[in-house]
């Protein structure tokens, strides 16, 4: 389904391209955080547009928690191949050795060690001074107040009280040695903008966004897909086949599915317009308490 | 006429009774507690843009932190950061996204508390319209006026005066009319294109999405209705063409494109364009995009241009319409909104980011400060956080710009503190200074590098700095002799000699010392334009002066050589007998004795007279020049070059 791109989306697209080019022009070692989801797919597509006919002059980086859905990993490798870009994958080996997993350690510890610490290790390993992320301001309240160019100290911390004002499109990109910048080209996009743009531009996304019969168990009010045998079943739990899809993709035991009949992009967009819950509802990591995202960000989470 | 529907995200394809207008970016502002966050929360709620899980969290938070008893406190929805929820104030800009069948909105919710004026200016810089809230019970406050003034200063031309909490005045028409009259009187000189006053109650949803029967005396539109239908577009596509080059796109040797976003105007293949700063012209060959070549590009389009001719164009250059060019000047006057805790210091060097160009700049003079509530002029010597002033600035190199009034993209800049990297100020250019402004630089057919090429060298300035008697001139002489033997074309400027001619009108006061170095720097620059290797031997005790010369030249051309001879040794040598006089108090301001010498922090080369002879030092300098490709490598001379 290819639709024409609305003036609203064209304006968002041009703004994102400007941001991508600004980083490449002003930083020495940029990288694009590629997390395989729909936002990453759009961000990668925008990067191909921004630098054409050159290839985007930076690699893709995936911080692999080793608990991503198998379909996501397959999609990731294909996407990098299609784009003709280098893909760097980093796993927090120390976390693995310590036996950290969402099942054994709980979502908080798993996210802190495998995602936040893993990301910090990766940025230091390759000495990146700027990292693109696909976060949008409509996702969560503390993200709504984060800058497009978000300055991080040498220890990767975000200081919400001391953010640089962002005026016009004049981004202050100056950093000291050891400091870095997280940059969010999709800041002003909404979830619906992302899907409308995917539809209009024919951008490939992970098939998990579309409904299909998949094995699930219902746990604490969430539908958890049994992607492999690492998910220990509790007494009485019996995986059953249900038509489900995902609205947001994270680590598989931490991401709740929704029951859905939407097998195609138009059906899915129609279903989303009628939805009365937010996309992060399926993300179990945000539920611990309100303000939990801000806490994670101060510690260096994206 | 509008009903909140049950769907959270409504279909933009849904038929509506008017044309779909482009996205409206607006900000909400006004004094603290006037209800800005509540208004946005109410808008989201009435448009059913709050999801069930968000509403549940909101109800939970309302019981914990709310200020409205058991009712939902909509402000909590918007006040994102933890500290704000606890203190009950907004401390930063929050962005919100609202879509109705008729229009998409991007809302900047900006703080009302005085110390956060800089964030208000931040929100205003990207907005087309401002919703200014006033508490119906309190009327106009200083903050209201200050925000209206900043809105006007940042070039927003459309204002909605939302007179909130009208329920708390018993829907009093006369009170409403008085506030409107007061505001109109105040805002008349600010020159807004449209001003619409609406009585509202954000908490109770009066005149937000729909007109309310509570205010039968009010005949204007509800707030949302007004926002959905107002046309704020400035037609930037008919303005003169401006294209700040953001990134030079070179995938291979066959393709050289200039990537950027059209700031204003329209361009087509075949159009003549001029590089504002150099005055060189060419024609647009192609407009390249990932989706194929285009036959035109207009304001706001992110594209890549290729030209018919190979010109020397870099990031920061501005391609323009040759018949309607921007001003090009190194000095201009501008309004500044000061955003840093460190005060503005006239004379101090900042970095100026204007479009895609970043250059060092000095604020030469603060003409006056602006009264925050009236924009009237007030005297002042410096600016503190949140103050607004009118200043003159001098950049180290000419920049292309337009007055902010005519072009927001090519007329706006930020100042960056060179030590802390903080964004120190937002600036809006009023006009260029001095006659240089409208003398467009003559494009020269033969460039500096062409002249240097026929001599098989690259232009450079070797700047020898160090104490009097340290041996600068001795080494510089040796280096020049060796370069001459190499066939390099050089010239030597010596401190003492220059003072007999070009600078014989100058003395040794601080002002004269700075002027001395400035003139030498300009002469050295002209000589590099001629393609020469210029040797300069000057005590030049201050880092700032040496940096001034470095910044006059192109990247990599300035080679700072620190002749590091200890003071005791210089005194012992005293070749001209000057130290003796200085120590006896016969010479004032003598470097090393009665005036400090600031050694370079990162010179390209340090000569230590403790460990090497003048000849060895000269050999090392020549070797560096060969390695860096400034002069040709000539093997046959070998190591024995004694002349």
As given in the structure block, the two tokens for residue B581 are: 């006089």
pLDDT given for residue A131 in this prediction: 95
Domains B5-229 and B237-320 share a fold: no
Assess contact for B35 and B202: CB atoms under 8 A. Answer: yes
At residue B440, does pLDDT exceed 60?
A: no
At residue B150, does pLDDT exceed 60?
A: yes
At residue B39, does pLDDT exceed 90?
A: no
pLDDT given for residue A3 in this prediction: 47
Nearest to B185 by CA among B143, B145, B125: B145
As given in the structure block, the two tokens for residue A285 are: 């990591």
For every residue of B493-541, DSSP letters joined together read: EEHHHHHHTTTTT--SSHHHHHHHHHHHHHHHHHHHHTT-EEEEE----
Do the Cβ atoms of A141 and B80 come within 8 Å?
yes
Assess contact for B449 and B553: CB atoms under 8 A. Answer: no
pLDDT given for residue B641 in this prediction: 36
Return left, alpha or beta for B457; rule: phi > 0 is left, psi -120 to 50 is alpha, else beta.
beta
Distance CA B482, CA B476 (A): 10
pLDDT given for residue B67 in this prediction: 61
- How close, in Å, is residue B107 to chain A by CA atoms? 10
Return the CATH number of B5-229, one of 3.50.50.60, 3.40.50.150, 3.40.50.300, 3.40.50.10800: 3.40.50.300
Do the Cβ atoms of A172 and B247 come within 8 Å?
no
Q: Which residue has the tokens 């299909």?
A: A212
pTM for this predicted structure: 0.73
pLDDT band at B479 (very low <50, low <70, confident <90, very high): very high
Which of these ranges, B150-164, B533-547, B558-572, B583-597, has the smallest mean pLDDT? Answer: B583-597
Assess contact for A238 and A217: CB atoms under 8 A. Answer: yes
Nearest to A48 among B125, B290, B300 (CB): B290
At residue B113, does pLDDT exceed 70?
A: no
pLDDT given for residue B272 in this prediction: 95
Top pLDDT among B16 and A45 is at A45
Q: Which residue has the tokens 């080019």?
A: A21
Alpha helix (H) ranges present in A93-229?
93-97, 102-110, 118-125, 191-201
Give, in words, the CATH class of B448-641.
Answer: alpha beta
Give me chain A's average pLDDT, please.
Answer: 85
At residue B326, does pLDDT exceed 90?
A: yes
- Tell me, what DSSP letter sits at residue B201? B
B540 a catalytic residue = yes
Do the Cβ atoms of A144 and B95 come within 8 Å?
yes
Distance CA B150, CA B335 (A): 11
As given in the structure block, the two tokens for residue A2 are: 């290819």
**Which chain A residues are closer than 8 Å to B125 by Cβ?**
167-168
Domains in chain B: boundaries? 5-229, 237-320, 328-432, 448-641
Assess contact for A180 and A123: CB atoms under 8 A. Answer: yes
B192 to B130, B145, B233: CA distances (angstroms): 11, 14, 14
Angle, alpha carbons A231-A236-A239 (nearest 5°): 50
**Which chain A residues are closer than 8 Å to B11 by Cβ?**
273
- The percent of residues above 90 in pLDDT, for chain B, comes to 35
Distance CA A240, CA A214 (A): 8
Do the Cβ atoms of B302 and A50 come within 8 Å?
yes
pLDDT given for residue B204 in this prediction: 86
Nearest to B9 by CA among B99, B105, B95, B103: B99
At residue A292, does pLDDT exceed 70?
A: no
| B237-320: CATH superfamily | Translation factors (2.40.30.10)
Longest CA–CA span in chain B (Å) reads 101
At residue A253, does pLDDT exceed 80?
A: no
Peptide bond preceding B92 in cis form (omega within 30 of 0): no
Nearest to B306 by CA among B360, B259, B252: B259
Top pLDDT among B642 and B361 is at B361
CA dihedral A98, A100, A103, A106 (to 10 degrees): 120
Burial call A112-145: b when 16+ CB within 10 Å, e when fewer:
bbbbbbbbbbbbeeeebbbbbbbbbbbbbbbbbb
Closest chain A residue to B110, measured at CA: A145
As given in the structure block, the two tokens for residue B287 are: 């407009």
| B328-432: CATH superfamily | Translation factors (2.40.30.10)
At residue A167, does pLDDT exceed 70?
A: yes
**Which chain B residues are closer than 8 Å to A258 by Cβ?**
none
At residue B13, does pLDDT exceed 60?
A: no
- Mean pLDDT over B526-539 rounds to 91
- How close, in Å, is residue A174 to chain B by CA atoms? 6
B444 to B311, B326, B367, B526: CA distances (angstroms): 12, 19, 37, 14
Nearest to A163 among B77, B92, B255 (CB): B92
At residue A290, does pLDDT exceed 90?
A: no
Q: Does A7 touch chain B (CB under 8 A)?
A: yes
Top pLDDT among B414 and B190 is at B414
pLDDT given for residue B425 in this prediction: 94
Distance CA A138, CA B592 (A): 61
Closest chain A residue to B248, measured at CA: A25
Which of these ranges, B74-88, B521-535, B624-638, has the smallest mean pLDDT? Answer: B74-88
pLDDT given for residue B354 in this prediction: 95
- The percent of residues above 70 in pLDDT, for chain B, comes to 85
At residue A77, does pLDDT exceed 90?
A: yes
Is B177 buried (19+), middle (13-18) or exposed (0-12) by CB count in 10 A?
middle
- How close, in Å, is residue B314 to chain A by CA atoms? 11
At residue B437, does pLDDT exceed 50?
A: no
Between A191-201 and A7-26, two packed helices, what is the crossing angle to 10 degrees? 90
Span B604-618, pLDDT tens digits:
999 987 788 888 899
pLDDT given for residue A298 in this prediction: 59
**Which chain A residues are closer than 8 Å to B77 by Cβ?**
141
Top pLDDT among B32 and B107 is at B107
As given in the structure block, the two tokens for residue B14 are: 């849904």
pLDDT given for residue B6 in this prediction: 32
């Amino acid at each position: 389904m290819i639709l024409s791109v609305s003036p609203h989306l064209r304006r968002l697209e041009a703004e994102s391209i400007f941001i991508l080019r600004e980083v490449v022009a002003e930083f020495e070692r940029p990288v694009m955080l590629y997390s395989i989801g729909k936002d990453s797919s759009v961000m990668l597509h925008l990067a191909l547009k921004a630098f054409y006919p050159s290839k985007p002059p930076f690699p893709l980086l995936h911080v692999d928690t080793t608990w991503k859905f198998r379909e996501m990993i397959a999609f990731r490798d294909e996407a990098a191949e299609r784009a003709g870009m280098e893909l760097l994958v980093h796993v927090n080996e120390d976390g693995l050795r310590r036996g950290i997993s969402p099942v054994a350690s709980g979502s908080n510890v798993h996210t802190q060690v495998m995602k936040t610490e893993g990301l910090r290790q990766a940025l230091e390993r390759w000495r990146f001074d700027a990292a693109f992320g696909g976060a949008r301001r409509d996702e969560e309240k503390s993200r709504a107040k984060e800058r497009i160019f978000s300055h991080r100290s040498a220890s990767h911390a975000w200081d919400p009280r001391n953010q640089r004002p962002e005026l016009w499109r004049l981004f202050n990109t100056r950093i000291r040695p050891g400091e870095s910048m997280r940059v969010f080209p999709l800041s002003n996009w909404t979830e619906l903008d992302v899907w409308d743009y995917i539809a209009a531009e024919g951008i490939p996304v992970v098939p998990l966004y579309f409904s299909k019969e998949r094995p699930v168990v219902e746990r604490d009010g969430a539908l958890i897909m049994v992607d492999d045998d690492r998910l220990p079943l509790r007494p009485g739990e019996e995986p059953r086949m249900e038509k489900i899809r995902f609205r947001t993709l994270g680590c598989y035991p931490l991401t709740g599915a929704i029951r859905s009949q939407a097998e195609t992009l138009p059906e899915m967009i129609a279903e989303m317009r009628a939805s009365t819950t937010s996309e992060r509802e399926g993300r179990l990591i945000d539920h611990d308490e309100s303000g939990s995202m801000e806490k994670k960000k101060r510690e260096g989470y994206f | 006429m509008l009903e909140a529907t049950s769907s959270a995200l409504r279909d933009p394809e849904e038929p509506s009774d008017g044309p779909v207008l482009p996205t409206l970016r607006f900000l909400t502002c006004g004094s603290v507690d006037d209800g800005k966050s509540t208004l946005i929360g109410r808008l989201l709620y009435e448009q059913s843009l709050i999801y069930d899980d968000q509403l549940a969290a909101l109800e939970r938070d309302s019981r914990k932190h709310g200020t409205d008893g058991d009712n939902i406190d909509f402000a909590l929805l918007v006040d994102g950061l933890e500290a704000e929820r606890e203190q009950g104030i907004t401390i930063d800009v929050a962005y919100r996204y609202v879509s109705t069948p008729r229009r998409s909105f991007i809302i900047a919710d900006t703080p009302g508390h005085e110390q956060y004026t800089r964030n208000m200016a931040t929100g205003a810089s990207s907005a087309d319209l401002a919703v200014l809230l006033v508490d119906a019970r309190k009327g106009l406050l200083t903050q209201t006026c200050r925000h209206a003034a900043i809105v006007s200063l940042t070039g927003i031309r459309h204002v909605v005066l939302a007179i909130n909490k009208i329920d708390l005045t018993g829907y009093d028409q006369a009170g409403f009319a008085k506030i409107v009259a007061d505001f109109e009187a105040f805002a008349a000189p600010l020159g807004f294109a449209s001003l619409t006053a609406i009585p509202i109650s954000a908490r109770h949803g009066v005149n937000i999405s729909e007109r309310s029967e509570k205010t039968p005396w009010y005949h204007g539109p509800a707030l949302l209705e007004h926002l959905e239908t107002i046309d704020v577009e400035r037609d930037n596509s008919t303005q003169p063409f401006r294209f700040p080059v953001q990134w030079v796109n070179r995938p291979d040797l066959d393709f050289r494109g200039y990537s950027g976003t059209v700031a204003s105007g329209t361009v087509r293949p075949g159009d003549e364009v001029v590089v504002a700063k150099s005055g060189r012209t060419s024609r647009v060959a192609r407009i390249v995009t990932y989706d194929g070549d285009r036959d035109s590009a207009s304001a706001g389009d992110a594209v890549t241009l290729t030209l018919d001719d190979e010109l020397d164009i870099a990031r920061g250059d501005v391609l323009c319409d040759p018949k309607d060019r921007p001003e090009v000047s190194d000095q201009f006057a501008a309004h500044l909104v000061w955003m840093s805790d460190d005060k503005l210091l006239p004379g101090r060097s900042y970095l100026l980011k204007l479009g895609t160009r970043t250059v060092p700049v000095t604020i030469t003079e603060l003409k006056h400060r602006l009264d925050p509530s009236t924009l009237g002029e007030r005297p002042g010597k410096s600016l503190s956080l949140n103050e607004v002033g009118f200043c003159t600035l001098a950049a180290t190199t000419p920049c292309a710009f337009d007055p902010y009034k005519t072009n927001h993209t090519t007329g706006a800049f930020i100042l960056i503190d060179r030590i802390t990297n903080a964004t120190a100020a937002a600036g809006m250019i009023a006009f260029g200074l001095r006659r240089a402004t409208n003398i467009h630089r003559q494009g020269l057919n033969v460039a500096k590098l062409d002249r240097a090429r026929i001599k098989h060298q690259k232009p450079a300035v070797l700047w020898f700095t160090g104490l009097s008697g340290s041996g600068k001139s001795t080494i510089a002489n040796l280096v020049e002799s060796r370069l001459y033997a190499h066939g390099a074309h050089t010239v030597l400027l010596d401190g003492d000699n220059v003072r007999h001619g070009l600078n014989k009108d100058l003395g040794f006061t601080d002002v004269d010392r700075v002027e001395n170095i400035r003139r030498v720097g300009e002469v050295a620059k002209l000589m590099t334009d001629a393609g020469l290797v210029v040797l300069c031997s000057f005590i030049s005790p201050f880092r700032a002066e040496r940096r001034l010369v470095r910044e006059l030249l192109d990247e990599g051309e300035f080679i700072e050589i620190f002749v590091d001879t200890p003071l005791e040794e210089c005194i012992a040598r005293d070749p001209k007998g000057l130290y003796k006089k200085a120590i006896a108090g016969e010479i004032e301001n003598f470097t090393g004795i009665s005036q400090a010498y600031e050694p370079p922090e990162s010179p390209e080369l340090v000569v230590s007279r403790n460990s090497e002879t003048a000849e060895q030092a000269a050999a090392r300098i020549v070797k560096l020049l060969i390695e860096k490709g400034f002069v040709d490598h000539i093997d046959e001379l070998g190591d024995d070059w004694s002349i």
